[in-house]
Structure 1
């Protein structure tokens, strides 16, 4: 696969992105549509079809040998289905089957969006060279994935490492997943903003009440805004430390829109991690910002295809 081109899809609640990616991780062709997330399943699939149609119209499409999908979850890679929390029209939706039909039977690899950012950061980003890592996306939701023993560990259904739904507050708020006190319920962008507003933070004249606006206020010294980010950092630290204690990772990479807050998030995160990661074998755990940015889902979906092909070739030659 090293010299071949793979197609990649990155499916989220806001956008459906597609790309043609070469064996060195370079994006050669792009396509994107808004996700009609509140529409029925076939309408959402229509946006996927439109992205694939644009990609397949490119002259490079004839060189594509396989396709990878990184999707908001939960996903079930064993069944080829997706049930994104923020796309209610897709519940047990047979995405792999539908995409395969649209692409003339190309091999399709499905992973969750957390696993996709993990594959991207391990291949091209901050986790490169690390055999054991947790990579996270902190945005509208909180997802994650694991690298263990030098390779992506997606688990049987593709959801391993989904740190957003570890409970870090036993008496905390109910989460849409059905759990209580989940990392996502505290540390996601909408929940950072919600907490700041509930505690008395007031948006500026433009009325922007997003987590990005809270980050600007925190950077300017607003104590309520800072406290909301500190609470989010504490939740992330608790989840990261629990993961490190369980599987002995040595780096946690944090990406996504919330990570763009920079040191407003990372300074309290590193401080809180010192309080939670106390056992000797996790005390050297590092936290680093992701570097693959908004292309992480596409690069990761491609990486999963390429890694899978390489493993298959190794098994055959072995």
Structure 2
């Protein structure tokens, strides 16, 4: 129904964000808490429950018909569990059950209102899949039948749209391009493999590589990938080389994905994408070297459009995709409420 709302959660290592999202993708109520990532699992869940509690006290809660969760991963949607790399207290944590339990203690919106039988349905996906759902609904992949959407930040994640539909896979992790190996004898990755896209193209690894090869931060001491991007933009050859290496790894992973499933566009967001043409120019050039077969040569690479709201909008979109609602049919980009 058009009046229904989804309670959306975006869970990461830094913050836990929540929102009530309407059928047009607008965030009509927001809530947020810092993630106590270094505390135990109960403390992290208490922060999630606090966000849900704030949403439950807001106008519109009585219209909520489902919950969508986009979480840092790995996630396992088949069991409702999460094991975020950046939240050590959660290992095979039963997040879906814990959210249902938290909701059970909250009034559904008035003395005459009742949850559906069995409680609210809860949909769990990885954060890369949530970003993909958002970009397909209202962002740079809108109207595309086959797309890869990526988050390039402290890690590298992603998700797929195939035949016009979100494709999360059985566990909610499909499209996790960050752990495709593109350098068979490369550096060990925390995932256990070698030469993964993430090990080469993530922000911390762009900065690490630049420092190892002689780049030095400015007087402010900023040694992040954003600082490397500024140096590259100013013409520093070492900084530029580190971004070119990241772009090469991304291009190899994108080309491999396109060859397997014939995507037509790759959408790239996240903090590293904010480098703009410092990243995108060498990425497009490298892609021409890797995407050689006729059916992948027309592949486009574009920046993401949804920004920091992608996780929340995407969690709601994933609910709609699961229910079969035509989320992509909305005609206008969704504004948000500050």
> TM-score normalised by the shorter chain: which range applies?
over 0.9
Q: Which residue of 1 aligns with 2:192?
A: 178
Displacement after TM superposition at 1:98 (Å): 0.5
Distance in 1, Cα, partners of 2:287 & 2:3: 41
Which residue number corresponds to residue 308 of structure 1?
Answer: 322
d(CA) in 1 for partners of 2:291, 2:167: 22
Alignment match of 2:248 (pick from 234, 238, 254): 234
TM-score by structure 2 length?
0.91
Q: C-alpha displacement at 1:3, in angstroms?
A: 2.9
The answer on 1:214 being equivalent to 2:224 is no
1:14-29 equivalences in 2 (<5 Å):
14-29=14-29
Aligned position for 2:216: 202
Question: 1:134 & 1:119 partners in 2: Cα distance?
Answer: 10
Shift of 1:57: 1.0
Q: Is the contact between residue 171 and residue 181 of structure 1 (CA under 8 Å) also seen in structure 2? A: yes
TM superposition shift of 1:107: 1.1
Contact 2:3 2:63 in 1 (8 A): no
Which residue in 1 is equivalent to 2:31? 31
Q: Does 1:299 align with 2:313?
A: yes
Contact 2:204 2:225 in 1 (8 A): yes
TM-score, normalised with respect to structure 1: 0.96
1:1-318 pair list within 5 angstroms: 1-104=1-104, 105-310=119-324
Partner of 1:315: none
CA deviation string 1:64-100 (max 9, x = no partner): 1101000011100000000011111111000000001
In the TM superposition, residue 188 of structure 1 has moved relative to its aligned partner by 0.5
Q: What is residue 316 of structure 1 aligned with on the other side? A: none
Equivalences, count: 312
SS in 2 for 1:143: strand
Task: Indicate conservation of the 8 Å contact 1:67/1:106, yes or no.
Answer: yes
2:134, 2:314 within 8 Å by CA — same for their partners in 1?
A: yes
Deviation at 1:260, TM superposition (A): 0.5
Give the superposition deviation at 1:255: 0.4
- What is the aligned partner in structure 1 of residue 336 from structure 2? none
Q: Distance in 2 between matches of 1:74 and 1:194?
A: 24
Could you tell me how far apart the structure 1 residues matched to 2:2 and 2:206 are? 42
**2: CA distance, partners of 1:16 / 1:214:** 28
Contact 1:121 1:128 survives alignment (8 Å): yes
Is there any run of 5+ residues in structure 1 with no aligned partner, and where?
Answer: 313-318
* Structure 2 runs not aligned, ≥5 long: 105-118, 327-338
